[in-house]
Structure 1
Amino acid sequence: MSLSIPVLVSDVRFSRLMRFGFPADEFAEFVVSRAVGVQTQVAASCVPDPHRRPDAVRSAELQRIAHEFHGRLAANREPHHPDPIVTEMWGQVFTAGLRDAGLLDLYTESDPAWDLLAGTTREVLEAVRRRTVVERTEIESLLVDPETNAVRTGGGETGVCTVNVELVEEGVYFRSVHDETTGQTRTIVEFG
Structure 2
Amino acid sequence: MSQNDKMREFILSYLETQPNQVNLATVRKLIGYGTNNDYGAPDILKQLLAMDQNHEAILTATFDVDFVDGVKLFNNKATRWLTAKGTKYFQNLKHGSVGQSTIHLSANNEKHTTQKYDGYLSQLISAKNVMQTESDQVTLQEFSLDLRHLLTDNKKLERGALNKFSPFVQRNWQELSTPMTPIFMELSRRFLFDKDYDA
TM over 0.5: no
Whichever structure has more strand as a proportion of its residues is 1
TM range (shorter): under 0.3
Whichever structure has more helix as a proportion of its residues is 2
Please say which structure displays the higher CA radius of gyration.
1
Q: TM-score, normalised by structure 2?
A: 0.26
Task: Report which structure shows greater RCO (CA 8 Å, sep ≥6).
Answer: 1
